[in-house]
Amino acid sequence: MFLWVLGVGLGCSPRPAGGPPILGKGSDTMVNLAQAWAEAYAVAQPGVQVEVSGGGSGVGIAALIRGSADLANSSRDLKPAEAKSAHTATGMAPREYIVGYDALGIYVHRDNPLEAVTFEQLRELFAVDGRITKWSELGVRIPGSRHDEIVRVGRQSSGGTFEFLRHRVLNDRDFRLGTLELNGSKEVVELIANTPTAIGYSGMGFVVPGVKLLRVAERAGDEAVAPTPEATVSGRYPIARTLLVYALGEPRPEVRGYLEWILSDAGQSWVPASGFVPVPMERRQPAGRLLEVDR
């Protein structure tokens, strides 16, 4: 609690209370972090209420465009068409805030002997025309299992995690039929922990004892890099990404004060506590970045 109160004194100025609640919606990857921020800010700034819900990055962005949310939490970049739709619907350009960093982890069961994977192997596993269907095709035998068929696990199509992997790794190819699409990042990892023949993807903050994260190389012959905090911030880990919050135009004072607090030391202290990587001081932009809109 001391840190929260100290964060208000040093990280952002007090804002008038008593207005409508701040509504944040979107990324399931970020929902636990967003909820932690909301609860901490209720202590740091009494009288300002923050309400958080998930549903996926695309759901949050759609709510922002409709005007039914003040903030869209997103684990992927806003698309140009979405920025244009927001401007057309509201007359305001989106404003982008980088609030943390995440490594999109490739998860397998803890007993799986596989240690590293390349982008090409992931395409063969997950893309619609991929040819890898059995662990033996990767030179792997799952201990204690009589089954060789690979169980592929992913996120629902409205999620930023789904979109990010599809664009960054699959080169915008569709996912192959039969891939399990789950609604939450936690559910993906829990299923893998209970399925020795499974492989899937989720944010780095959802590790549980029954799984392990693979090292990843963009090309065969490249060094396979583990999703550590240092490799995530530096970009050495090839599927690192930014965690983002979007607002429209110039946010009202309560919303602006909340965003300033998120990027203060107090707000950023919750990022590693949620399994992600905080924004270094020199990269923080409390005023955000107003996006150019293609008219």
Whether 10 has a pLDDT exceeding 50, the answer reads no
Query: What is the per-residue pLDDT for 293?
Result: 86
What pLDDT digit, counting tens, does each position of 122-131 carry? 999 999 999 9
3-class state of residue 98 by DSSP = strand
- Concatenated DSSP letters for 6-67? HHHHHHS-----SSPPEEEEE-SSSHHHHHHHHHHHHHHSTT--EEEE-S-HHHHHHHHHHT
Average pLDDT over the chain reads 92
Whether 209 has a pLDDT exceeding 50, the answer reads yes
Whether 225 has a pLDDT exceeding 80, the answer reads yes
Whether 11 has a pLDDT exceeding 80, the answer reads no
Whether 199 has a pLDDT exceeding 90, the answer reads yes
Query: What is the per-residue pLDDT for 183?
Result: 87
Query: What is the per-residue pLDDT for 260?
Result: 98
Q: How confident is the model at residue 5 (pLDDT cuts 50, 70, 90)?
A: very low
Angle at Cα 174 formed by Cα 173 and Cα 177, nearest 5°? 140
β-strands 94-109, 198-203 pairing: antiparallel
Whether 160 has a pLDDT exceeding 80, the answer reads yes
Q: How confident is the model at residue 263 (pLDDT cuts 50, 70, 90)?
A: very high
> Span 216-226, mean pLDDT?
97
pTM score, whole prediction: 0.87
Query: What is the per-residue pLDDT for 35?
Result: 97
Q: How confident is the model at residue 295 (pLDDT cuts 50, 70, 90)?
A: low
CA distance 35 to 51: 8
Angle at Cα 80 formed by Cα 79 and Cα 84, nearest 5°? 120
Q: Which domains does the chain have, with CATH numbers?
A: 2-101+242-290 (3.40.190.10), 103-234 (3.40.190.10)
Query: What is the per-residue pLDDT for 8?
Result: 33
Query: What is the per-residue pLDDT for 205?
Result: 86
Closest by CA to 108, choosing from 180, 171, 192, is 192
Query: What is the per-residue pLDDT for 184?
Result: 86
